[in-house]
Amino acid sequence: MGLLSRKVTCNSHGQDSSYFLGWQEYEKNPYHEVNNPQGIIQMGLAENQLSFDLPESWLAKNADAAGFKRDGQSIFKELALFQDYHGLPAFKKALVDFMAEIRGNKVTFDPNHIVLTAGATSANETLMFCLAEQGDAFLLPTPYYPGFDRDLKWRTGVEIVPIQCTSSNRFQITAPALEEAYQQAQRKNLRVKGVLVTNPSNPLGTTMRRDELDLLINFITDKEIHLISDEIYSGTVFSSPGFVSIMEVLKDRSLEQTPVWERVHIVYSLSKDLGLPGFRVGAIYSNDPIVVAAATKMSSFGLVSSQTQYLLSAMLSDKKFTKEYMAKNHKRLQKQQSKLVSGLEKAGIGCLESNAGLFCWVDMRHLLSSNTFEAEMELWKRIVYDVKLNISPGSSCHCSEPGWFRVCFANISEDTLKVAMQRLKSFVDSVAINNQSHQELKNSRKKFRTKWVFRLSFQSFHDREQDER
C-alpha cells in the first residue's frame, strides 16, 4: 500500500508525453543567434512574443497605475491585503470589456459572472470540479491541447472521450463524430457531462464556423449537457473569417431564456492574447450563477495576485491601448504566420489554412516512411535531433491521423524563423535525395500541393507555385 497518493505514482499529469520531451531537449541545447547558432529552435511553445513593445511603452507612460499608486497615493497596503476571491472590481470590469471588444462588441459580459483563476490551467480544472464527478466524462474534439489531459483529468478523476476529427473536412466537428463519441463514452460506462472545445482551436489555428457552433448547441441541448468553450486564443484571430463566439450564436438564436444558456461556459486567459503567461491570469465566465458561486469559492486555491490584477485593470481600462494593441498584434501575427506558411511551402510542406492562434497545423504526411504513429515519432525525432527544431507531433495532441505537427511562429523573431525554414528545406531536400523513390515523392508532393489549394485567399500561393514550376 503506497505511502503517497495514487496521483503521485500515476502519470496522468501527462508529462511523460513527447510534447514535453521536446521541450527538455530544447532546454539542453537552446538556439541563440550569436551564442548558439546550432542549437535547437523552439517552435513548440505557443507564446506571443511579437508585441511586447506595446505594453512596455504603456508602462513607461503610466507610472501611477504601474507603481502601486492611485492618483499619486500609495495603495500598496490596500493591494497587499486584498485577497477577496470576488476579485478587484475594476479589474473584472476591464477584463469583461476587453473580452467584449475582442468579440467586436457583438456580445457583452457581466462582471458578476466572471471568476478569476490562476491561469486557464486552473480555470479548466475548476470547471471540471464544478460540473463533473470522478468517472464522468467530457467529449473533446481531436486534435486537442496536450495539457487538457492534466488539467481536466488528473486530480478530478474525470475522463476525456475524443470526438474524432479528420483532415477530410479540415478537422471540423461533425454530427456523426459527436454522436459516436457519446456512444463510445456510454459503452465505457462513462456519464457524459459535456463537450469542451477550444475556439480558436489549438493546435489547428482555425476558428469554428457558425454551423459548427450551431451543431454543438443543438447537440448539448438534445443531450442536456454542458459546453465549455475555451476561448483563450480569441484575441489572436488575425484574418477572415472573423471570430464568432459561442455567446454570439446563443444570442443570435435567442436562447438567453432557455436552459441551454446556463450550460454554456467560457474559459479565458491573458496568456496568449496579451502574451503574459507568467502573470497567471485566467477566467471562467458562466451564465449559471450556481457555477459562478461554486467556482468563485474554488478560486481560493489559485487566486490572481492582487498586484497583477491592479496593473492589468489599469492597462485594459485604457481603451486607446487595447484598440492599438489588438490592431498591431493582429497585423504582426498575420505577417509572421504568412512567413511560416511560405517558408514551409518552399520546403514542399503544406499546412491547414489558418486564421488564428500562434501556430500552424503542418502536414508532413508525405515525409512519413509509413502511415503510422511510429513513423511519425521517427520523423519527429529526426526533426528535433537532426534538423534541430522543437515542434509538437500530432500524436501528442491525440490526432487520429499520423503525420501532422504543430509549429509555433509567434515566439521567435523573423530571422530565427528564416533559419528554421532554411533548416527544414535542407532536411526535406536531403530526404528527397536519399529517398530511392524521390521522383515518386515529387509527384505526390505536387498532388498534395494541388490538394492544399483551398478556396480562400490563396491567390499568392498559386502565384508562387507557378513561379517554382
Partner 1 sequence: MVAMSKIATGNGHGENSPYFDGWKAYETNPFHPTERPEGVIQMGLAENQLCFNLIKNWLIKHPEASLCTPQGVNKFKETALFQDYHGMPEFRQAVAKFMGKVRGDRVKFDPDRIVMSGGATGAHEMVAFCLADPGEAFLVPTPYYPGFDRDLKWRTGVELVPVNCESYNNFKITRNALEAAYVKAQEANLRVKGLLITNPSNPLGTILDRDTLKSMVRFINDKNIHLIGDEIYAATVFMEPEFLSISEIIEEEDVECNRDLIHIVYSLSKDMGFPGFRVGIVYSYNDSVVSCARKMSSFGLVSSQTQHLIASMLSDDEFVDNFLTESKVLLFKRHKYFTWSLSQVGIGCLKGNSGLFIWMDLRKLLKEKTFAAEMELWRVIINEVKLNVSPGCSFHCEEPGWFRVCFANMDDHTMKVALLRIRTFVLKNNEAMVPLKLCRPSSLKLSLSRSLSRRMDDFMSPGIMSPHSPLPQSPLVRART
Active-site residues, by number, are: 145, 230, 232, 272
Q: How far is the CB of 231 from partner 1 (least distance, A)?
A: 19
Answer yes or no whether residue 320 interacts with partner 1 by CB under 8 A: no
One of 21, 25, 30, 49 touching partner 1 (CB under 8 A): 49
Give residues 78-117 in contact with partner 1 (rule: CB under 8 A). 79-83
Q: How far is the CB of 382 from partner 1 (least distance, A)?
A: 27
Contact 93, 99 (CB under 8 A): no
One of 21, 25, 30, 55 touching partner 1 (CB under 8 A): 55
Give residues 166-195 in contact with partner 1 (rule: CB under 8 A). 193-194
Answer yes or no whether residue 204 interacts with partner 1 by CB under 8 A: no
Answer yes or no whether residue 297 interacts with partner 1 by CB under 8 A: yes
How many CB atoms are located within 10 Å of the residue 139 CB? 29
Contact 286, 117 (CB under 8 A): no
Give the containing element (helix H, strand E) for 273. Answer: none
Give the containing element (helix H, strand E) for 70. Answer: strand 69-70
Total residues at interface with partner 1 (CB under 8 A): 74
Give residues 127-156 in contact with partner 1 (rule: CB under 8 A). 129-134, 136, 150, 154-155
Give residues 264-293 in contact with partner 1 (rule: CB under 8 A). 271, 275-280, 290-291
Q: Which of 294, 254, 342, 15 is nearest to 128 (CA)?
A: 294
Nearer to partner 1, 165 or 264 (CB): 264
Answer yes or no whether residue 54 interacts with partner 1 by CB under 8 A: no
For residues 271 and 241, what is the distance between their CA atoms, to the nearest angstrom?
A: 23
For residues 347 and 363, what is the distance between their CA atoms, to the nearest angstrom?
A: 12
| Bridge partners for 159 per DSSP | 137
Answer yes or no whether residue 433 interacts with partner 1 by CB under 8 A: no
Q: How far is the CB of 193 from partner 1 (least distance, A)?
A: 6
At 390, which amino acid appears?
N
How many CB atoms are located within 10 Å of the residue 204 CB? 30
* Whole-number Cα distances in Å, 446 to 339, 413, 451: 21, 30, 8
* Contacting range for partner 1; rule: CB under 8 A; set: 223-231, 238-246, 355-363, 385-393: 223-231
